[in-house]
Amino acid sequence: MTSTPTPAEQSEQNRSGVVDGPGLLTLDGHSLELPRVRATDGADGLGVSKLLGATGVVTLDPGFTNTASCTSQITYIDGAAGILRYRGYPIEELAKSSSFLEVAYLLINGELPDRESFQRMERRISRHRLLHEDFRSFFTSFPSSGHPMAILQAGIAGLATYYEDTLNPHDPYERELATVLLLAKMPTMISYIARRAIGLPLLYPDPQRSYVEDFIRMSFGMPYQSYEIDPAVVRALDMLLILHADHEQNCSTSTVRLVGSADANMYASVAAGVGALSGPLHGGANEAVLRMLDTIQSSGMSTAEFVRKVKNKEDGVRLMGFGHRVYKNYDPRAAIVKETAHDVLTRLGSDDGDRKLEIAMELEETALRDEYFVSRSLYPNVDFYTGLIYQAMGFPTKMFTPLFALGRLPGWIAQYREMIADPAKRIGRPRQVYDGSTERHYVAMHRRKHDDGQYPATRAGVPSLDRVTRV
């Protein structure tokens, strides 16, 4: 009797030469060799760059879930085993022992810094955290109620107008300066957006404070008061940023690479990544979790009743914060966040926050022992407890996704820089399989059939689109 090898065993067999060589595609009696691109960890790739020319067909892979768009040395994920590594370092070790800026250095430069290199990076970032005075007024031109991600995206893109000497992605000096400016100014921008939304005066950066500590001060401090911050809270936010720093070729990272492949500057590329992250299927998950917990708490329903409604697929009832497209086991980041949530809510928690934590833990316990969720690999993900921590710190729900963006910034920069330096770089140009109308010819308007399709100009209780009701 023989047993089927696990993915890890199969991968090891591949590397030991038991299974090796190129792939072979046979189509209409013709064969094409697909060269194997070896991975140091995980799945090898099969090169299909000659497929169209040799066969006249293309691969069709909606969502590119089976297609590697690049080779990369930055992040490795094994979803089946619940592994996440930055530059080879396990996320558990970095979250426990490192700092966000140190991890940023690692992702961008490939190695952990020595003391001198790290201090140089800190000095450079500290010196550039101030925003140009004219640029400060940029944020007041948007409605204070506007979504922070839209304002942040505009702000990052707008940096290019102030630093035109940093736009050439192929100039090492300009590329490095753009890296420093983005890392330095993004927390300042996010704090300005958050404060203006609630009518508080904007604060200048304090170079005497650490990166994360000063971000918290700029977000919540007052100009006429000293502001002391619990070091445990600083450490918790620092750790959350580390956990979000990179995650391989996700939607926003792929967007950064695609825009950058046209040699667009780093600001434009990162701004595009912010736009992708703003989507509720990507960066807005922690907001959705908090809304779910609020609903359970305010309705007074038990977690068992809520889980029953989820399993019955009742309208408007969804279990948020469980499952992941990549991780088919426990999200390695989730266990770290869960422990942190306990600590932060103990230090800062209110009765409201404590009750939400209880609900979250009850949901997790129920889901982990229920066959419905276990069979579907619906384990808690990193978003499940993150919103609780942000809320306990005082961040409004709308600011959760900008915090995600701040954490993901080093990964976007690292991926952009790696892409620019890649000799195999090509401008992104995906193919398609066209299934629309075949050739047809123009018909004069008076001869066309009446289109019975309803023009979506109206909605109940809302003025018609045919009327201008606001400028």
CATH of 20-68, one of 3.40.50.1980, 2.20.28.60, 3.40.1190.20, 2.60.40.650: 2.20.28.60
pLDDT band for 46, please (50, 70, 90 cuts): very high
Identify the pLDDT of residue 382.
87
d(CA 197, CA 436): 46
Q: Could you say which architecture CATH assigns to the domain 90-279+396-421?
A: Orthogonal Bundle (1.10)
d(CA 57, CA 391): 51
Tokens standing for 149? 């991600």
Q: Any idea what DSSP says for residue 397? A: G
* 322 SS3 class: strand
Tokens standing for 441? 């010819």
Q: Is the pLDDT of residue 130 over 60?
A: yes
Identify the pLDDT of residue 372.
87
pTM: 0.89
Query: What are residue 299's DSSP bridge partners?
Result: none
Average pLDDT taken over every residue of the chain: 89
Query: Among this protein's residues, is 170 annotated catalytic?
Result: no
285-393 CATH fold: Cytochrome p450-Terp; domain 2 (1.10.230)
Q: Is the pLDDT of residue 16 over 60?
A: no
| Sign of the torsion formed by the C-alpha atoms of 460, 466, 469 and 471 | positive
- The ranges assigned to domains in the chain are 20-68, 90-279+396-421, 285-393
Candidate list 324, 352, 370, 435, residue with the active-site label: 324
Candidate list 383, 422, 452, 466, residue with the active-site label: 383
pLDDT per residue over 267-276, tens digit each?
999 999 999 9
Query: Among this protein's residues, is 78 annotated catalytic?
Result: no
